[in-house]
Chains A and B, each alone.
Chain A
């Protein structure tokens, strides 16, 4: 017989001896195995108090990035929407008006930017496609919601806090990923 792995064992069809057929000895062997597990280290994470560290390449919910001066990086070029295999991203572009230079980095910006979290498969292609470093996948989950509407994340939901006006929140949002990168 050709086997795929060297682990396969042919089934033993020998007739059981009397000692085997009363199962007591075999049960005892099994009980020793379970007893060994009884004293083993438990693998459980006590979830709300204790969270499991993510791997550095974890892809969570998207964040729209800002630059150091707190201006939105997104120029609504639509490359992320094109790259998205699940077609979860939609956007509407708008022109930057005079006086809005402190809000948007370039002349064009996304007036509306939506990601449908029910469609998103967290593949990270949007992050790869973005030429402006404007979108990246963070290390948080998309929280559960009670209706479908709440799963369509708009710009306000996705935008990172302003580093100028809310430095603490910005650091927190940015934090985990940067820390993990440094660790590596």
Chain B
């Protein structure tokens, strides 16, 4: 009993509320990403896109979601039922879990309390992100395996090998950044960038590699080999229907949102407002935190737009091209980047 009393219940409540807000917000962003995706696709193809549901089609995602809910739910009789349900749940869960360590803004001051806008400031935050992201592929693998369908299985295999290949280059590109920051905590990394320059100025090549790998990790075109509508017939989610399909599609957008947030945090100063000295305006209090959060969201939106922009520009890679790019081009580049960064860091500290 004593152990229970020592828990700071107020802190628990505060964190729970924060978790609820952030999860809701991620889902909302994912929802409107589907709308943005369709609009951007349309605009890049000289069309208008969805514009019937509500003004400018703003209610389109609600209509889509409603439609998915009312669709018939089919579980193939030859599938493994437990794994079949586990697949999309895992995809969604891992997609949502990543946002726990992202620092959304500076601390808020409410009711005589300091509320950090970050669910958990883990001192190995970025390792946590990497761990959860690599778990994400299990959603695809389990879903593809449980469907008992050759196309789905092929897609699952492709997805797994792709994620493993690109995680390597991503990790190495990140090690180079780590040498500069000297910290694994995302909050510390952002605070360093707020006081000094953004990491993109020190690690442009590293960022480029990280970005390409993030595209691959999110299964976005040109790396959407595990979905490949034209050859694998929707790939791992071919047998899925109703909201289970919706979960897979949604998880992709949540992943995109979170990886944009991670990239903005690592390389573009997180909630840092560009051309603005935060330290000179501490009297703004909570408004500063809100402005930071808004700025962070703008950065994330730009990344999401770029993701979509690339999707509607380049066609899918062939499988051998994908592997060549991952193993023969990006990993050597990332290694070179790491070596040069290491040498420069050593030389500067002498």
Enumerate chain A interface residues (CB-CB to B < 8 A).
Answer: 18, 21-24, 27, 30-31, 33-35, 37-38, 40-44, 46
Contacts and interface: CB of A to CB of B under 8 A. Distances in A.
Nearest to A43: B46
A17 B262 CA distance: 32
A22 B329 contact: yes
Majority SS at the chain A contact face? helix
B45 interface: yes
Interface in B317-333: 324-325, 329-330, 333
B130 interface: no
Contacts of A38: 40, 43-44
B48 A30 contact: no
A37 B313 CA distance: 11
B47 A44 contact: yes
A48 B324 CA distance: 50
A33 B43 contact: no
B237 to A, nearest CB: 27
A37 B48 contact: no
Contacts of B313: 27, 30-31, 33-34
Given A27-B314, A31-B310, A37 B325 contact: no
Interface residues of B, number: 21
Interface string B207-243: 0100010000000001000000000000000000000
A37 B333 CA distance: 33
Interface string B181-203: 00000000000000000000000
A43 B309 CA distance: 20
Contacts of A35: 44, 309
A21 B43 contact: no
Interface string B29-50: 0000000000010011111100
Nearest to A31: B313
A42 B325 contact: no
Given A30-B313, A31-B309, A31-B310, A37 B43 contact: yes
A29 to B, nearest CB: 9
Interface in B46-75: 46-48, 51
Nearest to A36: B44
A40 B45 CA distance: 9
A46 B47 CA distance: 11
19 contacts: A21-B324, A22-B329, A22-B330, A23-B325, A27-B313, A27-B314, A30-B314, A31-B310, A33-B313, A34-B44, A34-B312, A37-B43, A37-B44, A38-B43, A38-B44, A40-B46, A42-B46, A42-B48, A44-B48
A43 B310 contact: no
Interface in B140-193: none
Most central of A21, A34, A41, A44 by chain B CB within 10 Å: A34
A43 B329 contact: no
Contacts of B48: 42, 44, 46
B168 to A, nearest CB: 16
Contacts of B45: 37
Given A31-B310, A37-B44, A46-B48, 14 more contacts: A21-B324, A21-B329, A22-B325, A22-B330, A22-B333, A23-B314, A30-B313, A30-B314, A33-B313, A35-B44, A35-B309, A37-B43, A40-B46, A43-B46
Contacts of B47: 42-44
Contacts of A22: 325, 329-330, 333
Contacts of A41: 46
A20 to B, nearest CB: 11
B43 A27 contact: no
Contacts of A46: 48, 51
A17 B298 CA distance: 36
The 9 A-B residue pairs with the shortest CB-CB distance in the complex, in nearest-first order: A30-B313, A34-B44, A34-B313, A44-B48, A22-B329, A38-B43, A31-B313, A42-B48, A37-B44
A24 B325 CA distance: 11
B325 A27 contact: no
Nearest to A45: B48
